[in-house]
Amino acid sequence: MPQVEFWQGNKAIAMGAIAAGCRFFGGYPITPSTEIMEVMSEELPRLGGKFMQMEDEIAGIASTIGASIAGKKAMTASSGPGIALKQELLGYAYIAEIPIVVANVQRGGPSTGLPTKVSQADVMQAKWGCNGDHATIAYAPCSVQECYTSTIRAFNMAERFRQPVIILADEVIGHMREKITIPEAGTFEVMNRKKPTVAPDEFVPYRADEDGVPPMAAFGDGYRWHVTGLTTNEWGFPTNEAADIDLKANRIITKVERFRDDIVEYKEDYMEDAEIAVVSYGSVSRSSLRAIRELREEGVKVGHFRPITIWPFADKEIAELAKRVKRIIVPELNAGQMVREVERAVAGKCEVIGKGLINGELYKPAEIMSFIKEVA
């Protein structure tokens, strides 16, 4: 039978990782993500896994990449400036096609900023934090339950597409506690990376299958391959040949974009007859839904659209939404990041109004109700 627990969001992220098969965690403590490390330090040794507290955030992601290359599902977690420090090696994992999961429990910034306060200001950092072009997959859970399920999903996508996947939680979601139902093992999908099916002497490390993703051998399996942050040919060695560069640079983008519809997740509430839509994510979506329920009782035709997958962005779905409503309101805990993506997707089909909050507090339902009444 499913198990019912009363967990913190950060614990749900850690336990979701373990349920997905994670057996290595490398990191460095930082508020408000530290509880993920604490749970992993207790749970992984019981399962034969490895936990390593490294000397800093850079070493944390470096060890995580190394564990994945060695064949283990691996994870790191951090917040604020710790995520900033991880960016160079995050880019390394993108270009070397190393599957890892990175949990970012967002806090106020820039720099040290507001260590104990909530923020959603890393939305664009998740997409463009490291240099160069690549595809990004990132999830924004809005509940403790979703911290668990989205982490499993993140590992599945990392393994399927051979690349980093980000869990873009926030301080409120990471630290809140609520009831969670733990599904029985075997009742949810767990994906594992593709392994080579050819003999070691026939193995071409970065020759992709039809899905655009190459099989991945673990170090120690008897297959030879070279790992580098340089752009490589199919053999994994650095190249300056335009054809090889074009193949690699485009493939690490299109291998995800081709399957965009398999990845994008979202949820609509009260949209059947809505004239106004609120688009919000993470902790803000909870305040939004409370506000919408109360306004519905007053006769206001307002609905809610919640992106669960922040990247790839639900642009096609937002574009369709814009045809059905007069206005879209985007409340978020930053100076205006997702609202720009909403505006791009809407392309003038309806009015888009952004509402940003950057004082370290969570939007109250009454504040969102006020925004809606202003434009209703």
As a three-state string, the secondary structure of the chain is CCEEEEEEHHHHHHHHHHHCCEEEEEECCCCCCHHHHHHHHHHHHHCCCEEEECCCHHHHHHHHHHHHHCCCEEEEEECCHHHHHCHHHHHHHHHHCCCCEEEEEEEECCCCCEEEEECCCCHHHHHHCCCCCCCCCEECCCCHHHHHHHHHHHHHHHHHHCCCEEEEEEHHHHHCEEEEEECCCCCCCCCCCCCCCCCHHHCCCCCCCCCCCCCCCCCCCCCCCCCCCCCECCCCCECCCHHHHHHHHHHHHHHHHCCHHHHCCEEEECCCCCCEEEECCHHHHHHHHHHHHHHHHCCCCEEEEEECEEECCCHHHHHHHHCCCCEEEEEECCCCCHHHHHHHHHCCCCEEEEEECCCCCCCCHHHHHHHHHHHC
pLDDT at 262: 97
pLDDT at 287: 98
- CATH number of the domain at 3-182, please? 3.40.50.970
pLDDT digits (tens, 9 = 90+) for 64-87: 999 999 999 999 999 999 999 999
Tell me the C-alpha distance between 206 and 325, whole Å. 46
Selection from 98, 96, 87 nearest residue 237 by Cα: 96
The rounded mean pLDDT for the chain is 97
- For the chain, the structural domain boundaries read 3-182, 267-375
**Mean pLDDT on 265-277:** 97
Taking the whole predicted model, whether its pTM rises above 0.75 is answered as: yes
**Mean pLDDT on 210-233:** 96
pLDDT at 85: 97
Tell me the C-alpha distance between 139 and 167, whole Å. 5
pLDDT at 359: 97
Q: Is the pLDDT of residue 244 over 90?
A: yes
> Do residues 61 and 89 make contact, with C-beta atoms less than 8 angstroms apart?
yes
Tell me the C-alpha distance between 289 and 306, whole Å. 10
- The angle formed by the CA atoms of residues 374, 365 and 120, to the nearest 5 degrees, is 100
> Do residues 298 and 341 make contact, with C-beta atoms less than 8 angstroms apart?
no
pLDDT at 2: 83
Range 267-375 classified under CATH 3.40.30.10: no
**Mean pLDDT on 33-47:** 98
pLDDT at 166: 98
pLDDT at 261: 97
pLDDT at 376: 82
pLDDT digits (tens, 9 = 90+) for 98-118: 999 999 999 999 999 999 999
Q: Is the pLDDT of residue 334 over 80?
A: yes
Rg (CA), the chain: 21
pLDDT digits (tens, 9 = 90+) for 115-163: 999 999 999 999 999 999 999 999 999 999 999 999 999 999 999 999 9
3-182 and 267-375 share one fold: yes
pLDDT at 1: 77
Determine the distance from the C-alpha atom of residue 227 to the mean position of all C-alpha atoms in its chain, rounded to a whole number.
Answer: 24
Selection from 126, 153, 156 nearest residue 341 by Cα: 126
pLDDT at 44: 98
Confidence category of residue 286, pLDDT binned at 50, 70, 90: very high
Q: Is the pLDDT of residue 259 over 80?
A: yes
